[in-house]
């Protein structure tokens, strides 16, 4: 079963192309970060390789049975007709000593895809596909290709090896060489709606409470990848604290001081960064329910919070003061809260 949600249009377009008269040799999957482009590219690769190994093309969607040899080999990163280019771990011992499926998710990566990685594909292209009638090359973070690496890839896109399909994944397509973009068919991916976000998060975090899932949906802003980075940080608790500030204010500074203490220090760094992400969107949600002076106040606080939250990490602002100030922007909303008028 396909574990891809919210991208019906690009999936349908690729399936139609697969079964058309001639499948284009290069595709660019582009859109916001964390919405599932890389996962989809791997699923496209499974389906392409599986059909090249005899899978019935009438199998629904882009599904591949989990016991199919193409799926099992690809999941083990050992399919001989598949190659993946992405940023390698900075630690060469990890890159050379462990198979890709054993790399840690938080392994620090190089800043770019190197030229020698692209050239290392040459022996693969020198022979015909061995198990499938097709060969698939997935390039993740394609915009990080070094200039010389991009030029080396361009040569392959200009004269594609027989039976080879290139799937490029990029968050910032404008950073790719125009000559590369011009040789690719583009599949655009959009941020997921709340229903699709909930489906992804329920599958990835089956033990999460409804409140925590809702908080992750809010902080994810249509990106499951972003939301999952903050899993396990009790975002529902942060949302409750923000809601109390917005409804009751903080005339004695007690709520703001408590938050500032909770979210400062190295151990709280991940939760602090989640707070930075959440506050501007929380204020924006409040603004949508207001009009007149209440709306003006909310928009003013949103602009201030958005600016501060964006600067906090890049400029290494002190966490405790930053949290206190951001919480103050939320508390200011109480001036026009319904409870304040009663």
Query: In the numeric block, which tokens belong to residue 342?
Result: 């009663």
How confident is the model at residue 340, as a pLDDT? 42
- Give the DSSP per-residue string, 153-189: HHHHHHSPPTTEEEEEEES-GGGS-HHHHTTSEEEE-
Using alpha carbons, select from 212, 85, 217, 95 the residue that is nearest to residue 144: 85
296 or 341, greater pLDDT? 296
pTM of the model: 0.79
Q: How far apart are CA 159 and CA 266, in angstroms?
A: 51
In this predicted structure, the answer to whether residue 333 has a pLDDT above a threshold of 90 is yes
Cα 234 to the center of its chain, rounded Å = 21
CA-to-CA distance for 16 and 62, rounded, in angstroms?
10
Q: Is the pLDDT of residue 341 over 80?
A: no
pLDDT digits (tens, 9 = 90+) for 187-236: 999 999 999 999 999 988 998 889 889 988 988 889 998 888 888 888 88
Residue % of the chain over a pLDDT of 70: 97
- Could you give the angle at the alpha carbon of 52 between the alpha carbons of 51 and 58, nearest 5°? 20
pLDDT at 339: 46
Residue 1 confidence (pLDDT) = 46
Cβ atoms 52, 133 nearer than 8 A: yes
pLDDT single digits (tens) 254-274: 999 999 999 988 889 989 998
Res 282 pLDDT > 60: yes
CB neighbours of residue 308 within 10 Å: 17
The answer for residues whose C-beta is within 8 angstroms of residue 276's C-beta and 6 or more apart is: 309, 312, 313, 322, 326
More confident call, 341 vs 301? 301
DSSP helix/strand/coil, 249: coil
HEC string for 253-272:
CHHHHHHHHHCCCHHHHHHH
What is the C-alpha separation between 27 and 157, in angstroms, rounded? 10
Average pLDDT over residues 125-129: 88
H or E segment at 66? Answer: none
The H or E element that residue 247 is part of is: helix 235-248
13 burial via Cβ count (<10 Å: 0-12, 13-18, 19+): middle
**Separation of alpha carbons 62 and 80, rounded Å:** 21
Using a 10 angstrom Cβ sphere, with 0-12 exposed, 13-18 middle and 19 or more buried, the burial of residue 16 is: exposed
Does the CA dihedral 308-312-318-320 come out positive or negative? Answer: positive
pLDDT of 89 over the 90 cut: no
So what's the pLDDT on residue 338?
53
Band the pLDDT of 172: cuts 50, 70, 90: confident
The side-by-side arrangement of strands in the sheet containing 185-188 is 82-85, 135-139, 164-170, 26-30, 185-188
């Amino acid at each position: 079963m396909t574990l891809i949600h919210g991208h019906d249009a690009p999936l349908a377009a690729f399936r139609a192309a697969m079964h058309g008269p001639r499948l284009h040799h290069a595709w660019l999957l582009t859109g916001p970060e964390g919405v599932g482009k890389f996962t989809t590219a791997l699923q496209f690769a499974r389906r392409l390789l599986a059909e090249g190994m005899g899978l019935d093309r009438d199998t629904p969607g882009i599904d591949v049975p989990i016991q199919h040899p193409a799926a099992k080999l690809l999941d083990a990163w050992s399919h001989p007709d598949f190659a993946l280019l992405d940023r390698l771990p900075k630690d060469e011992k990890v890159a050379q000593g462990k198979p890709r499926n054993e790399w840690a998710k938080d392994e620090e990566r190089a800043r770019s895809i190197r030229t020698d990685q692209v050239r290392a594909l040459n022996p693969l292209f020198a022979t015909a596909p061995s198990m499938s009638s097709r060969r698939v090359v997935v390039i993740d973070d394609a915009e990080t290709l070094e200039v010389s690496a991009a030029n080396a890839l361009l040569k392959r896109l200009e004269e594609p090896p027989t039976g080879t399909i290139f799937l490029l994944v990029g968050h910032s397509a404008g950073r790719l060489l125009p000559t590369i973009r011009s040789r690719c068919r583009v599949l655009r991916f959009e941020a997921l709606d709340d229903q699709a976000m909930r489906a992804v998060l329920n599958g990835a975090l089956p033990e999460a409470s409804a409140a925590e899932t809702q908080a992750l949906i809010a902080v994810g802003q249509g990106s499951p990848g972003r939301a999952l980075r903050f899993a396990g940080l009790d975002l529902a608790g942060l949302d409750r604290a923000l809601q109390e500030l917005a409804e009751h204010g903080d005339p004695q500074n007690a709520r703001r001081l408590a938050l500032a203490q909770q979210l400062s220090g190295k151990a709280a760094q991940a939760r602090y960064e989640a707070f930075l992400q959440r506050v501007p969107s929380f204020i924006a949600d409040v603004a949508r329910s207001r009009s007149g002076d209440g709306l003006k106040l909310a928009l003013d606080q949103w602009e201030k919070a958005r600016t501060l939250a964006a600067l906090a990490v890049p400029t290494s602002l002190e966490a405790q003061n930053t949290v206190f100030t951001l919480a103050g922007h939320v508390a200011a909303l109480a001036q026009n809260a319904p409870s304040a008028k009663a």
